[in-house]
Structure 1
């Protein structure tokens, strides 16, 4: 999903700032797209929506399908919204998609939240294809997407790349994709943070709750009923991501973990 607003008075960059969010799911054939959230992955859609809305007045771009959600956000936020498909395991597809992204303006933020879904199994029985897909989507795809935005960020001396991990980033399950993503984030941070690019790895240690029925803190009714207990509030998560983006460069966070405190 691409959400974009021009920045008044910005003649040099007439298209304004772009905030790029990626999401990836694979079906049984291995086809994938950044931004696509299959119905079983409802929690990802909730968080994706909250990221998109956390600062609409600044202008955003998210990659993905979600045409209906794109239309909804465009209507509610009164801004332009685009949808761009990406196969995060295909380097050519990523390059082609980013040509469209860059035609809209420079990328201010990249949030990479892609994962190959597979059931944990013994490494003794996991197939080579499944192992490779785990790495291709979670780590190699992140590498390719980061490459597409790093040149422009380094030239401007600013930018943010946020990689979304999970508990598997620390306690690897068979496949090792998220574990590899964490290593990639650290390597990129060491090289590019001195050049003005903030790179952080966020470990989501828990499930994301459904969207609240009203703005503000979780209602007393929701708490008393036990609804959403032990889950991460998607609005709070989105706000955390935003704070990482605007964080003072003299005290940048390279890694953090988020978990609920029920």
Structure 2
């Protein structure tokens, strides 16, 4: 009797093992997916893959820049032909983003474009390549990581909000176009700080008073992404927001 093929997932935007991207990879692998772990740092994505195998999961490290069209196309060519024993991709997450406060009058054009390319243009490339390959199959899930800036702009964060708001519109447009064809597209608003390496390195002092359930846990976030993938098509979510219970909104 032939063993069933193992489904494949793509997570674009994986960095530190303490980050959300790595948590998503661990969750999907634990649920039986072969995970294509994609990010710009070869050392970091390789370390995440090692962790997957140490936990009896499977994955493949792929060095790729979400803003480079050739890299994204190459990633999805691998995703539809992941190797013997693995089925074509049925779950994709775009988890790329960068954030820092810049006074508006000091924001130069190059930096604004850098934020837009990472947070919005990269999402377009990943979403397009996912749709090109998954819509003909009539199934699958594409998830985009958003932020509170997807919904509102704050002083000093125009470049981040513009990129995240654009990503949200890509998600909505894809959901309306491809939902009726069997592709579930959803946007996850992360409203609060994630307890991971990036936040701790950039802002260690503000983090400390919020340690007691004041930050989002990356594994808890990953659980919601998995639930979105598992939803029955009669009741799909297009957008969900997540925040710590102590976060004001």
TM-score after normalising by structure 1: 0.76
2:80 matched residue in structure 1: 102
1:71 matched residue in structure 2: 50
- CA distance in 1 between counterparts of 2:27 and 2:58 reads 16
2:236 matched residue in structure 1: 252
Contact 2:15 2:21 in 1 (8 A): no
Q: Which digits, 9 at most, give the CA deviation of each residue in 1:202-234, with x for residues without a partner?
A: 0000112369xxxxxxxxxxxxx9743311122
- CA distance in 1 between counterparts of 2:76 and 2:97 reads 19
Is 1:127 paired with 2:108? yes
Q: Which runs of 5 or more residues in structure 2 are unaligned?
A: 198-208
2:202 matched residue in structure 1: none
Contact 1:106 1:152 in 2 (8 A): no
- CA distance in 1 between counterparts of 2:210 and 2:152 reads 29
Contact 2:15 2:22 in 1 (8 A): no
Is 1:19 paired with 2:3? no
Question: What count of residue pairs does the alignment treat as equivalent?
Answer: 219
Q: Which runs of 5 or more residues in structure 1 are unaligned?
A: 1-7, 24-34, 212-224
TM-score after normalising by structure 2: 0.80
2:122 matched residue in structure 1: 141
1:31 matched residue in structure 2: none
2:176 matched residue in structure 1: 190
SS at 2:48 equivalent: helix
- CA distance in 1 between counterparts of 2:68 and 2:20 reads 25
SS at 1:84 equivalent: strand
Is 1:166 paired with 2:147? yes
- CA distance in 1 between counterparts of 2:171 and 2:133 reads 18
2:206 matched residue in structure 1: none
Contact 1:116 1:133 in 2 (8 A): no
2:190 matched residue in structure 1: 204
Is 1:59 paired with 2:33? yes
1:49 matched residue in structure 2: 22
**How far does residue 129 in structure 1 lie from its aligned partner after superposition?**
1.0
- CA distance in 2 between counterparts of 1:226 and 1:147 reads 38
The structure where helix makes up a greater share of residues is: 2
